[in-house]
Structure 1
């Protein structure tokens, strides 16, 4: 999504921090309700990886929210001054909305388990 600010166009997206996602599915539900999608269709889908046993004998698993082709980053909410529904309702604050520049800076601070989604 691009927005005009002054004379420049800024590219907006979502940063997803997979280290902090707790797998609560709130992003899925908030998005589906916001977009009015029927059961079985998702604007963002939570994938579950694992669990798998690590070499030290401990178990590990990850939750990975993945925006789909239905994701509009809640254009009408954003145009009204809000943030995408998934960002607003993420209980772990694992999803953030902003310009590509802002998100890249935050991603560098957070660590290796982040990804950026651009529509």
Structure 2
């Protein structure tokens, strides 16, 4: 069973795609393959002159939580390069506690 994971705080993702690029570079993935992909929902209007776009990073089956990096005590590449610091790597128990404190998050782990 997995012991570590990545917590994604969707409130803070700016859609910069740094995580995508870092993952592709770290693992030598071609342009059309991703370990993590930032999806975009919107824009939509929610009032006079008010618009919202939501970004949410999604992990693919190619993600292995940067096993080689984490074995060396480093952060996964996507977490290390996240400009908005909306990705947090750590033990699942700790991340689950943070998830309970703030509901607009998602917890990713391997099988």
Q: Name 1:23's counterpart in structure 2.
A: 15
CA distance in 2, matches of 1:72, 1:98: 14
Q: Whose Rg is larger? A: 1
Query: Which of 96, 101, 106 is the matching residue for 1:115?
Result: 106
Map 1:12-51 to 2 at 5 A.
Answer: 12-51=4-43
> What's the C-alpha RMSD, in Å, of the aligned pairs?
1.2
Map 1:1-119 to 2 at 5 A.
Answer: 2=2, 11-54=3-46, 56-57=47-48, 58-109=50-101, 111-119=102-110
- Extract unaligned runs of 5+ from structure 2: none
CA distance in 2, matches of 1:49, 1:113: 15
- Deviation beyond 2 Å, 4+ runs, structure 1: none
Residues paired across the two proteins, number: 109
TM (normalized to structure 1)?
0.86
CA distance in 1, matches of 2:81, 2:30: 19
